[in-house]
Amino acid sequence: MVRYPGRYVRVVAAVLICAAATACEASEPASADTPASTSAKPPPPAPPDPAAVGADELGEVPILMYHQVTADPAGEYDQSPAEFRAELDRLYREDYRPITAAQYIAGDIDIPAGTHPVVLTFDDSTGSQLRFTAEGVPTADCAVGVLEGFAADHPDFPARATFYVNNNPFEADPRALPWLAEHGYEIGAHTANHPDLAGLDAAGVQRELAQNVRAITAAAPGTAVHTMALPLGSAPVDPALALAGTSDGTPYRFAAAMLVGANPAPSPFGPVDPAAVPRIRSGLGAVPFDSGYWLDLLAAEPERRYTSDGDPGRISFPRSSANRLDPRWSEQAHSY
């Protein structure tokens, strides 16, 4: 040790450094990236007992239909921005949470326990539904702007809706469809030119829908068009052509076709007809059986509503509702 003082000092220093590092590792919490930390994470809480939240996933679902959201409502399906926000506020207070039409018909309903799904749909792709500022964001007074603003104020009420568009939608603004697709909105078909499909032959029906799908996918590549809305609520002579067909090499296949009125839709796990899914018209008294009428009725008779159990992999309902279950969904059924 006398002849090699430098080596002796280096060895002692190395020992002290190793000891200090070991002590630090023992005293510091494990990094979030380590396997130990991952295994220590608590499991997500189990959904509550369906009976405790009154779950009934065989109940009715309001699918609301809007046209214009404008400062000067003129049509019977129009609302002002203030009226639309007030309706969103009512839906929120009454524990509705938005899903898309595609999610509805697929039974892909993942909302908190005790809440109710609602589908917001917009027909005709008017400028009042989506218009941009010079900076490329939706204006505060268009339908999307109102919905985005409401969602920002209520993070548990996501900005989610379905837009049924014609060709050259939203005043032919090329930014519109890509923006909707990028922000999680559903884009659905509403035909190329908005004809009365009952007045067209089979080739004409298929041409209108195929051209519409072709325009949507060209404007927003990668977009899958899952549902459609019947212009004027009028079905083709062969209703099956509203769901599937082909024209000029472009096929289309939709999971659901939406009507114009006039009552809540059945549960997707119940007696729903994909070719004729009912919607509720907005109108605030301008049309009979409008959104105000049905929301009042569902509030007065809450047992009619679809109420989530909080578990998207399970379909919960009281035994008294079991007769409404479509047998296709029996493996996921849970009655109480």
Domains of the chain, first to last: 59-335 (3.20.20.370)
Q: Which two tokens stand for residue 123?
A: 């027909």
**Angle between helix 81-93 and 291-300 (nearest 10):** 10
CA distances to 78, 311, 327, 328 from 271, rounded to whole Å, are 30, 21, 10, 11
The DSSP symbol for 305 reads B
Q: How far apart are CA 163 and CA 143, in angstroms?
A: 11
Q: What is the mean pLDDT of residues 255-261?
A: 96
- Asked whether the predicted pLDDT for residue 31 surpasses 70, the reply is no
**39: pLDDT confidence band, cut at 50, 70 and 90?**
low
pLDDT bucket at 15, cuts 50 / 70 / 90:
very low
pLDDT at 168: 96
Residue from 103, 99, 101, 132 nearest 116 by CA: 99
pLDDT of residue 46: 82
| Low-confidence winner among 25-29, 85-89, 216-220, 306-310 (lowest mean pLDDT) | 25-29
Q: To which residue do tokens 């917009």 refer?
A: 122
pTM of the model: 0.86
pLDDT score of 69 more than 50 = yes
- Residue with the two structure tokens 């082909």: 246
CB-CB contact of 108 with 256 (8 Å): no
